[in-house]
Amino acid sequence: MPRQSAALRILDYDARAPRSSHSSRKATNMAGIDTEVDAGVGSVRNRRVKSSNLQHHHDELPELPTPHDQAQTPAQKARRRHRDRLFGLLTRNEAVALAVLAGLGFVFVLGPASVRFCTPPPLDSSTSSTIQAAPRPAPGTSPYPQNTFAASMALNNSTGATSVARVYADVNANMPRSYWDYDSVNISWGVLENYEVVRKIGRGKYSEVFEGINVVNYQKCVIKVLKPVKKKKIKREIKILQNLSGGPNIVSLLDVVRDNQVSDGSDWIGDWSKTPSLIFEYVNNTDFRSLYPKFQDYDVRYYIFELLKALDYCHSKGIMHRDVKPHNVMIDHEKRKLRLIDWGLAEFYHAGTEYNVRVASRYFKGPELLVDFQEYDYSLDMWSLGAMFASMIFRREPFFHGSSNSDQLVKIAKVLGTEDLFDYLDKYDIELDAQYDDILSRYPKKPWHSFINAENQRFVSNDAIDFLDKLLRYDHQDRLTAQEAMSHPYFAPVRQAAQQNSTAA
């Protein structure tokens, strides 16, 4: 195909009708396998009596014990309402029996598939010689064990735990303002005529991507033509790429150019051009849908380790990627080269800052985004990596396949269970949207080994399961950091091979 100048090729591009990111994303994942992990839930749910059908019985039953009777925050009321609804999924006889026992002082512990009973402490020390009275709780604390159903329904009045990144929390605070203030970034514009477009290789919500060539040195490159977005967003991406320049497995920004000839008089970004373009190093990438099925077990370990190098580096520089997914991981398998690309959603981390939750692609969104928790940090990237890793070892792409953001959380809950989800909401005083009342039921945690089959068993080891389990946690502060992840036993073969290669060199 004859090459065109970048200026001419850009004229063919119509930025006035950008395609929805959701529609394009859906199209690119049509070949994926839906991860419906709890097909039997519906049949179980049909055998339950809804809480509305039990309502007329509730008036005659003793209330469940609640350690705190103070006023509750809206978030606490919402979680209480949702727990009440889940409790209403019990059969009529079960609900009556449990409520009566609760009135007598019994505590019931929610297990994976049933309700177990714990004997209550005697009302008086003289009433029993075999049962010891429970110690009196300290003022303001719950009298119930932490893992009881009563405790899970007892909502405190705190505003939630403070969330600060476990690592690299003060990187930007210790740097001069010029390091993270992208509004003041200085851009040295390159010469547009030095680059020619060869062919289109991709498109996204904010850009179109072309394979190109530098006509000065005849080196291949990638030309990312940005769609009309705020100048601030473009400056942020450029500043972040400048700060990460030379980092391990970070795609290299080679140049920034603009087409001064294209203008509609709108002056949409002041003295900037209508179509700024970013010039990147070229990676001979193979689409992950055709590449991943060819991987051996060691390949998965190797490339996840390489991706962790990039993540630890950007985190150490105070930067969250916020869009980790297979589409943004370029792999030249022949050269065993990996590059983390597309830093358009990346952001500088400042402890205590509330960030936009409308980041990352749906299948790789962390729970914090799905429950609108804005004080997230680098650990968001670790969830996304975990979801990506799960799809690689279990051969399910994507692993969590939600049809919407709310359904995405339901898909996650069907795997991780709802007990830990509510613990997470309680810890950070997060209010779950009312829409979940109708779509989120009570789910037990599903064992990771249940996803193993004849097709994927060669990729799944105890180390792989342990590594995955430490990434896919509701509580973002419980996830492995990138540095911790690289030290995991799962990567021992990769570290050993690297050491041997270093010794041989």
Indicate the annotated binding residues for ATP. 224
Q: Which amino acid is at 437?
A: D
Among the options 323, 377, 381, 429, which is catalytic?
323
- Considering Cα of 352, then 354, then 357, then 361, what sign does the dihedral take? negative
Q: What is the dihedral of CA 370, 373, 374, 375, to 10 degrees?
A: -130
Nearest C-alpha neighbor of 83 from the set 118, 61, 49, 51: 51
**Among 341, 372, 367, which residue's Cα sits nearest to residue 355?**
372
Helix axes 51-58, 74-87, angle to 10 degrees: 100
Task: Report in angstroms the alpha-carbon separations of 24 from 30, 118, 133, 310, 392.
Answer: 10, 53, 62, 27, 22
Residue 323 known to be catalytic: yes
Look up residue 230 and give its two tokens: 């705020």
CA–CA separation, 151 and 128 (whole Å): 25
Instruction: Report d(CA 252, CA 163) in Å as an integer.
Output: 32
Give SS3 for 138: coil
Angle at 328 between CA 209 and CA 380, to 5 degrees: 140
Q: Which residues are catalytic?
A: 323
